[in-house]
Amino acid sequence: MGSKPRSLSGIKPTGTPHLGNYLGMIKPAIQLQETHETFYFIADYHALTSMRDPKQLREHTYDLTAIFAALGMDFESHAFFRQSDIPEVTELTWILSCITSKGLMERAHAYKDAVSKDQEVSVGLFCYPVLMACDILIYDSNHVPVGQDQRQHLEITRDLAIRFNHLYGEVFVIPEAIIEKNIATIPGLDGRKMSKSYENVIPLFAPEKQFRKAIMKITTDSKSVEESKDPETCSVFALYSCFSTKADQEALAERYRAGGMGYSEAKQLCFEALNAELNEPREIFQQIRNDQSELDGILESGRDKARAIARQVTDRVRSKVGL
């Protein structure tokens, strides 16, 4: 600890993670272990804005812990924990809420979206960005790897931190987002962006057979085997590209253009490339997912590391504001 910058991110336990989550956030976050001290957490307080099923919330929490374990997170040197194991974050949320203008929250995309769809908006959903800002600020985080959809939340976080520092003196580190730009548009089964709400996702650790079947279902145009095909507009090619070297991508692009290769062959190659990367983690996942005491141990050690920092930062804030 100490000399490396700290990277922090959170992921909501609201569903089974899919390839879009993996490429957009999980994989880059895990890679940052090399250059950063990393703090990653399961955003279960945030999940409560949309989830009402306690059993599922618990199951998804263990799923995510096992996923990070399977993908090589080093829990000795880094911290992985539950958001709700650090109650200080809700205390800080109150304090920060008191310097947050309602207008700023009204401009947040998630809130505006819900309003435009006539959905019921809870106070929790309305204040979601303040809690998220506190998740970040409470650990003196330097870098926050997130998907493109979280850009605005990071801007709000910075705004609030700057405002607080301006009012009370330098307390918070001003964090920076790390956003994987080309990863924002992982195509789903139907060619649209892979997203739970479009029901077009490929689960990260589906059993191999199911995984292959999902890839075989990806929508393509209806060109025959002989015809020349355009790799640039093909979802299969786009997915393959996320799991292969530049040289392999060029080789496959060449075969697309030349004609003589059908989409089912391209899909098979795509499946093989994905499977080469995910097969071993999938097996580790299945083992560790069944070992509840191991998973509890991971979360407890993460909690202890995270809470120590959260206490320091919260104490700093309490003393600055006069509590």
Considering only the stretches 3-11, 47-55, 165-173, 243-251, report the one whose residues sit in contact with ligand TRP under the rule CB under 6 A: 3-11
Mind spelling out the 3-state secondary structure of 32-73? HHHCCEEEEEECHHHHCCCCCCHHHHHHHHHHHHHHHHHCCC
* Shorter beta-carbon distance to ligand TRP: residue 132 or 306: 132
With CA atoms as reference, report the closest residue to 162 among 129, 141, 145, 137: 137
Q: How far apart are CA 194 and CA 113, in angstroms?
A: 19
Query: Is residue 12 a contact residue for ligand TRP (CB under 6 A)?
Result: yes
Q: Which of 64/146 has CB closer to ligand TRP?
A: 146
Q: Taking contact as CB under 6 A, which single stretch among the options 85-93, 128-136, 189-197, 256-264 is the one that binds ligand TRP? A: 128-136
Instruction: Please report how many Cα atoms fall inside a 13 Å half-sphere around the Cα of residue 25, on the Cβ side.
Output: 25
By CB under 6 A, tell whether 303 contacts ligand TRP: no
The only residue of 6, 18, 27, 46 in contact with ligand TRP, by rule CB under 6 A: 46
67 binds ligand TRP (CB under 6 A): no
* Residue (100 or 241) nearer to ligand TRP, CB: 100
142 lies in the binding site for ligand TRP (CB under 6 A): no
282 binds ligand TRP, rule: CB under 6 A: no
Minimum distance from CB of 233 to ligand TRP (Å)? 29
Kindly tell me which of 93 and 235 has the beta carbon lying closer to ligand TRP: 93
The answer to whether 64 touches 11, Cβ cutoff 8 Å, is: yes
Which of the ranges 4-12, 84-92, 241-249, 259-267 carries the binding residues for ligand TRP, by CB under 6 A?
4-12
Label residue 103 exposed, middle or buried (CB < 10 Å: 0-12, 13-18, 19+).
exposed
Phi, psi of 120 (to 5 degrees): -70, 130
Three-state SS at 287: helix
- 43 binding ligand TRP? (CB under 6 A): yes
Chosen residue from 29, 89, 92, 132 binding ligand TRP by CB under 6 A: 132
Q: Binder to ligand TRP among 136, 252, 253, 266 (CB under 6 A)?
A: 136
Beta bridge partners of 7: 38, 143
The answer to whether 213 and 161 are in contact (CB under 8 A) is no
Name the one range near ligand TRP by CB under 6 A: 58-66, 131-139, 249-257, 301-309. 131-139
Binding residue count for ligand TRP, defined by CB under 6 A:
13
DSSP letter string, 219-240 = ------SSS---GGG-HHHHHH
Question: 207: which 2 tokens?
Answer: 């059993």
Of positions 114, 146, 156, 161, contacts ligand TRP by CB under 6 A:
146
Shortest-Cβ-distance residue relative to ligand TRP: 10
Q: In this structure, are residues 238 and 187 in contact, taking their beta carbons and an 8 Å threshold?
A: yes
Site residues (CB under 6 A) for ligand TRP, limited to 185-204: none
Interior angle at CA 46, CA 44 and CA 49, nearest 5: 115
List the end-to-end C-alpha distance of the chain, in Å, as a whole number: 30
Footprint on this chain of ligand TRP (rule: CB under 6 A): 9-12, 43, 46, 132, 135-136, 144, 146, 150, 153
